[in-house]
């Protein structure tokens, strides 16, 4: 869990360099933003996913990208030193963070998984 938190913080830091509308003012705000984003995604996001299920079904799951962007923007409202300006910056930033997190989780699980000696 600690490694995933650090990966997400690093992902936020990288995204701030890649996108114009997202800014992180140092390592500490990135770490705090990753923690807040994790808490928001654990508590608020499931409730919103259930409430927006009909829209999500109609859009074949694409509305989830909008929700992820909203969660990133909400985290930016809470954390000082982490800003997201604009709707599309939030959605694209959430998409990039999701990709970075997924790829890094794949490599972390591959490293942690014991390999057989066949």
Q: Is residue 85 part of a domain?
A: yes
Residue 1 has what pLDDT?
78
Residue 106 has what pLDDT?
82
Q: Is residue 117 part of a domain?
A: no
Q: Is residue 67 part of a domain?
A: yes
Residue 40 has what pLDDT?
95
The total number of structural domains in the chain stands at 1
> Domain range holding 43?
2-112
Q: For residue 114, how many C-alpha atoms fall within 13 Å in the half-sphere facing its CB? A: 3
pLDDT in tens, 56-83: 999 999 999 999 999 999 999 999 999 9
Burial class (CB in 10 A: 0-12, 13-18, 19+), 38: middle
Q: Is residue 118 part of a domain?
A: no
List the chain residues with pLDDT less than 70: 110-118
């Amino acid at each position: 869990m600690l490694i995933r938190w650090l990966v997400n913080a690093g992902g936020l830091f990288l995204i701030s360099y890649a996108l114009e509308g997202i800014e992180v003012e140092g390592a500490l705000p990135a770490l705090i933003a990753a923690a807040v984003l994790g808490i928001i995604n654990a508590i608020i996001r499931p409730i919103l996913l259930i409430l927006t299920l009909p829209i999500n079904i109609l859009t074949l799951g694409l509305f989830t990208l909008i929700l992820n962007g909203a969660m990133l923007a909400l985290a930016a409202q809470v954390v000082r030193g982490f800003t997201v300006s604009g709707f599309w910056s939030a959605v694209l930033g959430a998409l990039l963070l999701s990709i970075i997190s997924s790829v890094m989780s794949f490599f972390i699980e591959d490293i942690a998984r014991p390999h057989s000696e066949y």
